[in-house]
Structures are given as structure tokens and as C-alpha cells.
A = this chain, B = another copy of it.
Amino acid sequence: MTTYAAPVKDMQFVLNDVLQISKYSNLPGFSEATDDVVEAILEEGAKLAANVLHPLNHIGDEEGCTRHDDASVTTPTGFKDAYKTFSEGGWQGLSFDPAYGGQGLPYILSIAVNEMVSSANMAFGMYPGLAMGAALAIHAHGDDAQKQTYLPKMVTGEWGGTMNLTEPHCGTDLGLLRTKAVPQPDGSYKISGQKIWISAGEHDLTDNIIHLVLARIEGAPEGVKGISLFVAPKFLVNEDGSLGARNGVQCGGLESKMGIHGNATCVMNYDEATGWLIGEENKGLKAMFTMMNEARLGVAVQGLAISEVAYQNASEFARDRVQGRSLTGPKAPDKAADPIIVHPDVRRMLMDQRATIEGGRAWMYWSALQADMHHKSEDEETRVRADDILGLMTPVLKAYLTEKGFWHASTAQQVLGGSGYTAEWGLEQFVRDARIAMIYEGTNGVQALDLVGRKLPKDGGRAIMAFFAEIDAFVNDNQGNEELKPYLDGLDAAKADVQEATQWFMANAMQNPDNAGAGSMDYLHMVALLCLAHGWAQLAKAALERKAAGDADDFFANKLITGRYFLERILPDVKAHLAKLKAGADSMMALPAEAF
């Protein structure tokens, strides 16, 4: 069966050496995040992940959730106790607003903890993850009374939360949604309709579940301009905060799905459920995007997290399993065969994972720091710039890290050979679990379109220019650092290719917008590789500094080897993507639909 040990040292290296979060002590919450607080949080998180959550991962997969005749849902054995430990440990409110009981620590720390939770038990992590997304949307768009009613109990983890968007006939295209909301004299609404694929829609972990639901107010315009956001708790809340009547929303069934069996994916039936408007009428989509963007970052973390846990189990197997001899002569002559880690192609699989995980973590955490700066900086220019970059990064992180999460889980499975295909070894679960992350919260194709169609042209390309400027500044600041030169050269070359692709879009997408759509996924990969190159340049710089300071820990030398592997064996894909992108839409779109 699988094991998981949170990569605390790697996380600390990124937080302390690479991003140097102590530099941000002027921001609220950061001054409390001293080195020892960070260390304590990561180490306690690691214990929770290894001792409480990961042991339930396989059980969750095997048992799945059960819906009963009364529409209640039971989570797998052990989930309820584990959730109690999680919420009582204060993990849910780690970076939430202290005004509602949160600890107000940096968001970047909660991302590190999320990584651990998702590595240990992705299906479990979705329960608090969805609740946090709902809480953030209420925090951003709810009125004071709503915040006071729901947030304190959501922040402690006593109450859960969900987001209800998808209907049978519409997922990506929410303009088609039909769930309706009828205004009542008391200011509430009666909500009716069916929502599907609602993660954590019903379960036995919390006393109440706060559903956020998109619906159309009677008489509202068609399309996305007539959508409003509502809060509809499972149990109505009395004025004194106690639970009142059961609301008219029920789990109509559980989806039978490929993975994340431990999470209840529900059909939710709204039958005149009482709900209250969140934010303005017909502005529901905008409010929902607060949750969605948060959720997309959470899904990106899932991709990274599954890569990490799969990699850990594959490398453990590769060090233990003996089979065949090294091409350069026996490495374990005392044994019947060498451990398979001596075989270059096994190394290739492990190094591909490792280089993407380590670079990806630097990139993910750096992006999380933008979120902190956006929300907390007192300087407006900094806030805007951080928001621009985070907006640009969100679809790229989501699509790239989840694609790699799936591929790495599969690669890890491949390292195990036949054992990887059996349920007993647990790797195949990672593959099945990881697969959903490429789909939900907007498929990866939708992310690519968001990048190219929305984030790139927004404000005259301000975001991508800010990112290019960031890279230029890094390259300029480190000119003359000979050991860093391969990274700077790699960054420069990749940036030039991304610029060329951007210019190609500018020249060709106006006359035919399909030229942008056709290149969107290649462009997304190019930006992702540039971001990884940026992450690796930062990692290498920090590792070189530690070495120069006399730190003899192999950890730093190993970072530089892995970084070199990234430059040599992963970054070259940028050029192939550029060549494909510049082919344009013609051959992609020419076939008549009926020819497929």
C-alpha cells in the first residue's frame, strides 16, 4: 500500500530561501508567520497528512460513499473522525479573515497545507476545500448578516459548503442554466431545479452544509446576464444561530465515477428550497468566479499533490525492486539483480516527475504569494500587478499541473510495472483520482481559452507584460552569475518564444479568432514551461547561495542536478509548441463536422 511523507524540507526551501516570505512582514498575517511558526505548521500538517489522512485514502476508494433511502449520505469509514481531527486542529481557518475566527495567516501557507492534504487524500480534501471556496465567496459578496450567519461556523469546519453550477444540459456554458428562483415577500427566494456533479453535496461530516447555487430569478434575462447567486443552507439557521428546519434541497443520487470515490459527487434536487441572494441580482456569475478562481488554484494544487505522492511511491519502489543489471555493470553485485533505479529509462520517468514537481511547487507558491499581495498589500500598484499575474497564472497552473498530475501518476504507475496496475499497490488509484482534475472547475481546454481569449488581451496585455518584466528583472539582476547562466539563457530563450507566439496571435487572431483557439493549448504549455523555467531559475539561485554560504547539504547540489535536467529534457518542448501554434487553425478546422 502507498505511503506519504510531506516534503517539508522542499516546502521550507521554497518559502524561506526562494520566496523569502519573511520579507513580506509588512503584510497582515505575515508578521505572525515567523520561521518557527511556518516550521510548526508544516510539521503538524505533515503529521496530519501521514497519520490521519493518508491511511484512509485507499479505504475511501474501496468503500466510496453511500446514499441512503432518506437521501442522507455516509462517507467512508474513518472520514468522520479524520474530519473532526482536521477541523479541531484549526486547519480550515488557517488563512481566513480573523474577523470571522480565522487565523489570518498567509494564503501561501494554506496552499502548502492544501498540498499535503491533497497528496494524502484528495477525495477527503475536497470536503474542506469546497467549503472554503464557498466561505470565500460569502466573504467577498455576502452582506454583513450573511457573513455573521455562516462564516464563523464554516471557518471552524463545523459547517460545510458547496458550489452548485452544473446542470444536466450545461456545464461550461452556464448561460443555458434553468434552475429558477422565485422571489418571496420576506426577501428570500424559492429555488427549484436540478444540479449535477456537486462535489461534497451531501455527507455526514458536518452539522450543516451551506450551498451556493446559481439560479435565474423569474423574469431575468436569458444567458449569463440573468444568473444570480444564492445561499441555500441544508438546514435553515435560526436567529440565534441554532439549526432550524430542513431546507428543500436533497441529494438525489451519487455519481458512479472513475475515481475520488471518497468524495460524494451528488445530484442535488432543489424543490422550492429557501435561498437568499448573495450580492446583486443577475451578477451571480461574477460572484461565482470568486469561488471558481479559488477553486482552480485548489485544483492546480491537487495536480501537484498527486504528482508528489505518486512520485514518492514510485521512487521507493524503484530503489527496492531488483530486476536486471545496470548497462554500465552490476551496481548491487551481492544481489540477484540491481534495483531498477539504475536503469536510465526508470530514472527518466522519476526525473521527469521530480523536475516538474519541484519547479511546479516554486511556481505554485510564487503565484499564491501574488494572491497574498493582491489581498493585503497597501500599495495599489502592487495589488493590481499581483492580481494581473495571478489572473494570468490561474488557468495555466490549473491546466498544466493537472495534466502533469495525471501523467505523472500514470508514469509512477509505469515504474511499478504490473504491480502498478493492481489495486493492491495503490498507484492506479492515483491515476483515477488525478484524472478528474483535468476536467472539473473548467476543463483544461476552457482554461486555455480563458488564457488566450480573456487573460492575455485584458487591459492591453498588461498581465503578460508584467510577467515578462518580472523575468527580465530576474535575468538582469543576475547577469554575470556564471553558474546561473544556463537558467538565464533558458529563461531568455523561452520568453522570446512566448513573445513570438503572442505576436503571432496578435497578427493572426483578429482576422480569424479560431487561430487563437487553435493555438490556445500550445500557448498555455509554452507559458507553463516559461513559468517552470522561472521557478527553476529561482530555485537554482537560492541553492547556489546556500552552497556559496558553505552549506554542504546534498539537498542543494541535488536541486542543481534536477534543474539541469529540467533545462535539458523538459524545456525543449517550448519550440515544438511554437511550431504547432504557428500552423494556425486551417488544418484543424477544415474537416466538415459530419466527417468525424
A: residues with CB less than 8 A from B are: 166, 170-173, 175-176, 196-197, 255-259, 315, 318-319, 323-324, 327-328, 336-337, 339, 341-351, 354, 406, 410, 413-414, 417-418, 420-424, 428, 431-432, 435-436, 438-440, 443-445, 448-449, 453, 512-514, 516-518, 520-521, 554, 558, 561-562, 564-565, 568-569, 572-573, 575-576, 579-580, 583, 585-596
Contacts and interface: CB of A to CB of B under 8 A. Distances in A.
Nearest to A256: B423
Nearest to A345: B445
Given A256-B424, A418-B166, A572-B576, A343 B445 contact: yes
B512 A328 contact: yes
Given A439-B418, A513-B327, A596-B350, A521 B568 contact: no
A349 B403 CA distance: 14
A336 B176 contact: yes
Contact of A421 (B423, B435, B453): B435
Nearest to A576: B576
B596 A583 contact: no
Given A417-B443, A423-B258, A558-B595, A588 B565 contact: yes
Contacts of A166: 418
B413 A319 contact: no
A327 B424 contact: no
The 8 closest A-B pairs by CB, nearest first: A344-B517, A568-B583, A315-B596, A327-B513, A345-B445, A258-B428, A572-B579, A565-B587
Contact of A520 (B344, B421, B436): B344
A346 B445 contact: yes
A436 B339 CA distance: 23
A345 B448 contact: yes
Classify the secondary structure of A's interface with B.
Answer: helix
Contacts of A514: 327-328, 344
A346 B173 CA distance: 15
Nearest to A311: B596
Q: Please indicate which of the listed interface residues A418, A435, A448 has the most CB atoms of chain B within 10 Å of its own CB.
A: A418
Contact of A435 (B413, B449, B583): B413
Given A435-B410, A587-B568, A172 B348 contact: no
Contacts of A432: 258, 432
10 contacts: A176-B323, A344-B520, A345-B445, A348-B518, A351-B588, A554-B592, A568-B583, A569-B580, A575-B576, A576-B576
B256 A422 contact: yes
Contacts of A336: 176
Given A421-B258, A423-B257, A431-B258, A517 B345 contact: yes
Nearest to A196: B418
Contacts of A558: 591, 595
Contact of A587 (B324, B517, B569, B583): B569
B410 A591 contact: no
A281 B444 CA distance: 56
Contacts of A175: 337
B445 A418 contact: no
Contacts of A324: 172-173
A593 B512 contact: no
A166 B417 CA distance: 12
Contact of A327 (B417, B423, B517): B517
Interface centre among A196, A344, A562 (most CB of B within 10 A): A344
A259 to B, nearest CB: 8
Contacts of A418: 166, 171, 196-197, 439-440
Contacts of A588: 344, 347-348, 351, 565, 569
A385 B255 CA distance: 54
A431 B513 CA distance: 32
A521 to B, nearest CB: 6
A582 to B, nearest CB: 9
Contact of A449 (B315, B345, B406, B440): B345
Contacts of A406: 410
A439 B421 contact: yes
Q: In this complex, which of A414, A554, A588 has the most chain B Cβ atoms within 10 angstroms of its Cβ?
A: A588
A580 B572 contact: yes
Q: Which of A342, A414, A421, A439 has the most CB of B within 10 A?
A: A421
Most buried by B among A315, A594, A596: A596
Given A319-B596, A351-B588, 18 more contacts: A176-B336, A257-B428, A258-B423, A259-B421, A319-B594, A327-B516, A328-B514, A339-B593, A348-B518, A354-B596, A414-B444, A417-B443, A421-B439, A428-B435, A432-B432, A565-B588, A569-B588, A572-B580
Contacts of A561: 587, 590-591
Nearest to A423: B256
A596 B318 CA distance: 9
A470 B521 CA distance: 36
Contacts of A350: 596
A42 to B, nearest CB: 20
Given A428-B257, A576-B573, A588-B565, A417 B344 contact: no
Contact of A344 (B172, B256, B585): B585
B520 A345 contact: yes
A440 B419 CA distance: 11
